[in-house]
Each structure stands twice: as C-alpha cells, then as structure tokens.
C-alpha cells in the first residue's frame, strides 16, 4: 500500500525533497557552544533579534536552515559556531495546507512561513501537543531532525474540515485526518 501511495504522489514527494536537498549538513557539525544569542522565534514563527523583528525573508530562510535541536534547546549552527536561541513553541510555522486526492487516496501538503513544503505522512507526522500551563492542545508537524512546525489556527480548521470522525467503544469520538496512507488524530471529544 505504501509504495502505491508513494507512486501516486511521487510529484509531491519530489517537490518536498527539493527543499531538503538545499539544507546544509548540520548533522555533521558539532562545534562547541559559542554562547547565547538574543534571537527569539515567537509562536507565529516571527524571528526577533534583541526584541526587534527581523523582516528580511532571505535572512529568516537562511537561519531556519541552520537550526539544530539538542534536548529541549535550539541552536543556530555553522561548522565553527553554535549559538543557543529562544523558541516560544516551535521554530517553524505552517501557514497553509492543500489537499490532493488521487484514486481514492489523499495527501496533505503544508507550506511554512519559511517556504518549506511538507508532505504529511510517515516521515512528517502530525501530533497534538499539550501546553503544560494552559492545558490547551496545539497541532505540530515534524519537519526534519526532530524540528517541528506549529500549524496555524486557520490551517488546523482546514484539517478539521477535511477530517473524519470515529466513535470508540467508550463512546468518545476522535477526529482523524488521512494523508499518504497514514491516519493522524486531531483530538478526542464527547457529544
């Protein structure tokens, strides 16, 4: 089944791979910590340096390609430097989604604020995270190397619109979204 679905959506897989082919080999870079830098990424994926928003898209795109997650800390890395930055929720932000249906199978394609195309599937799963303080759930999609993107509220509502409902034996209902032959939960609810 996976091979058939992959073949149906080979053009989308290829498009998604194009961006990852432009990424530097940061997994091979292990410089010592250079220190902390006053860069922060807010909940909507906006980048700030010393509390001033970075507006140049080319700089943000470049920095997003240099991100590395170690434990719960995010770093900007080069072969010789490693700077810790602050991230409010996730370093990447999904701003839109499109739905492709082919021969009864569907694929969901996300676009990030930094121009990445992410194909929701086994390599890029969706999961609902929960904020410890507020107990609110929020949707995340894994992009690469355990780096995730927060899915915007408007995009999440699109996913809910495309989802199906399944009733469990205990009477609880679950909203599920399908993409690339995989199912992802958007959450449980009761009537």
pLDDT tens, the chain, 191 aa long: 577 888 888 888 888 888 788 899 999 999 999 999 999 999 999 999 999 999 999 999 999 999 999 999 999 999 999 999 999 999 999 999 999 999 999 999 999 999 899 999 999 999 999 887 777 889 999 999 889 999 999 999 999 999 999 988 888 899 999 999 999 999 877 76
- CA distances (Å), origin 106, targets 15, 126, 159, 163, 181: 16, 15, 12, 11, 8
> What is the predicted pLDDT for the residue at 1?
53
Q: Kindly state the greatest CA–CA separation across the chain.
A: 56
- According to DSSP, the residues that pair with 165 across neighbouring strands are 175
What pTM, to 2 d.p., does this model score? Answer: 0.91
> What is the predicted pLDDT for the residue at 3?
77
């Amino acid at each position: 089944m996976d091979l058939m679905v992959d073949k149906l959506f080979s053009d989308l897989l290829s498009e998604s791979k194009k961006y990852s082919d432009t990424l530097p080999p940061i997994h091979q870079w292990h410089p010592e910590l250079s220190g902390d830098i006053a860069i922060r990424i807010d909940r909507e994926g906006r980048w700030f340096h010393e509390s001033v928003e970075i507006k140049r898209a080319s700089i943000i795109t470049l920095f997003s390609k240099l991100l590395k997650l170690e434990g719960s800390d995010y770093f900007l890395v080069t072969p010789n430097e490693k700077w810790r930055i602050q991230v409010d929720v996730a370093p990447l932000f999904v701003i839109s989604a499109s739905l492709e249906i082919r021969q009864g199978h569907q694929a969901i394609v996300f676009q990030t604020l930094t121009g990445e195309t992410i194909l929701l599937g086994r390599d890029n799963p969706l999961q609902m995270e929960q904020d410890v303080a507020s107990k609110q759930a929020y949707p995340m999609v894994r992009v690469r190397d355990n780096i995730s993107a927060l899915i915007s509220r408007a995009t999440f509502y699109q996913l809910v619109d495309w989802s199906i409902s399944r009733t469990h034996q205990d009477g609880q209902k679950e909203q599920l979204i399908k993409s690339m032959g995989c199912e992802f939960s958007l959450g449980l609810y009761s009537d």
